[in-house]
Amino acid sequence: MFKPVTISSFLKIINLPISLKKQLVLLSLSIIVTAVSIISSNDVGYESSSFTVFAQIDKDNNQKMLSHSQYIANSNSSIDAKSTTTFSSIGTISSLVITVPENEFNITNAFKVILTGDWVLNVHNGTITNFEANFLASPMDGSMGHIHQITSFSANKNEMIQLTPDNNSLSINGTVDIKINGKTVWNNVDLSIIMSKGSTITIDPNDKQTDNHFGDQQVYGIVNRLIVR
């Protein structure tokens, strides 16, 4: 009767170095594992099982994504619903003051002053604790510029400062002191602040009280950061 030859008996028959015999054993084991894998991959149950596993993973990921989206939606809803009377905001001023000749409306020939700087607004429980604006006024003709400083903001009495819950807008009226190059030039100037949708800001000083210094024009800027507490 034919007696099957095992790997160990075959290695005993042939005369090979021990190191080479070990390599042959490893090679044989690799071939066996590969064959088993090929046979298993052709089995319908394996394919079905694999599909089930990946489908479950995909389902879990989708559930996590949906849960995360729902969490964000709920968080936004809670933020919109809560009081917005305590917040901080900072931004930059990027604006132009344009003096148009009286005899013709030609924007090209108009004298322009570039305003660049920054501003900060802090509100606590509906009361402004700080508002300041510092910006450089640089004439387009290259002549010497000067620095504006708006400080000591005091809101009108009984005015509750609050962001609109739906789009983070606000309107504030009060008085300020305005300095030029560090020296106070105008005191208790009426000034309004308008923030639009948490993106832009408009600073509007009273023109008559500032001797038409800003040309009866508003100062514009953007909101770089808004933190609602």
Domain residue spans of the chain: 1-42, 87-228
What pLDDT shows up at residue 37?
A: 43
Quickly state the pLDDT bin for 81 (edges 50, 70, 90).
very low
CA dihedral (94, 218, 124, 182) positive or negative: positive
In 3D, which of 125, 85, 72 has the Cα closest to residue 228? 85
d(CA 121, CA 127): 11
Dihedrals phi, psi of 54, to nearest 5 degrees: -65, -35
Crossing angle of helices 18-41 and 44-81, rounded to 10°: 70
202 band by pLDDT with thresholds 50, 70 and 90: very high
The Cα 95–Cα 222 span in angstroms is 10
Task: Give the pTM.
Answer: 0.63
- Confidence band (pLDDT; 50, 70, 90) for 217? very high
Residue 55 has a CB neighbour count (10 Å cut-off) of 10
Residue type, position 18, single letter: I
pLDDT for residue 36: 39
Residues 167, 101: Cα–Cα separation, whole Å: 39
Q: pLDDT tens-digit profile of 104-156?
A: 777 777 889 999 999 999 999 999 999 999 999 999 999 999 999 999 999 99
Structure-token match 């609602």, residue found: 228
- Over residues 19-54, the pLDDT tens digits come to 554 554 455 544 444 443 444 444 443 333 333 333
